[in-house]
Amino acid sequence: MTAFEGHGVTITLRDVIDMVEATAEDSWQMDVVRSMDGQRNCFFGHLHAYASTLAPAGMDPDRLASEVWDWFEEQYASTYAIYPINDGKSPRYPQPTPRQRVLGFLNDLRTGGALRTWEGVEVEYLLHCGIFE
């Protein structure tokens, strides 16, 4: 699987899974990226916060976090795919909390049980074209 590599920072899918596992259940947010008080995040808010802590000295932490966000969307899953899982709207991930649902999805990505971004886009295109039914 493809790792993020840039600015002296390397992040793998396993690192993202470890980050989610280390978050507290009550630090998760549904429906928006970050709560107004900044205390709770959805998956992408947690990813952004995590990546910003890895920025090397002299680098804008938001720049690194944005690059990591883009990497994750390109390689693994877009906001279009993650938000319904985080927010409890995906029947495939019925776990009781956003954290548990996202962990289920990330582990499926790791084992090949879920499609990565471009695999999913291709399947949707083929379905739209009537090639698959």
CA distance 66 to 9: 13
pTM above 0.85, yes or no: yes
Give per-residue burial for 72-93: e unless 16+ CB within 10 Å, then b: bbebbbeeebbbebbbbebeeb
CA distance 90 to 55: 33
**How crowded is residue 13: how many other Cβ atoms within 10 Å of its Cβ?**
19
Give me the tens of pLDDT residue by residue for the chain, a chain 133 residues long.
Answer: 589 999 999 999 999 999 999 999 999 999 999 999 989 999 999 999 999 999 999 999 999 999 999 999 999 999 999 999 999 999 999 999 999 999 999 999 999 999 998 888 888 778 878 876 5
Widest distance between CA atoms in the chain: 52
3-class DSSP assignment, residue 6: strand
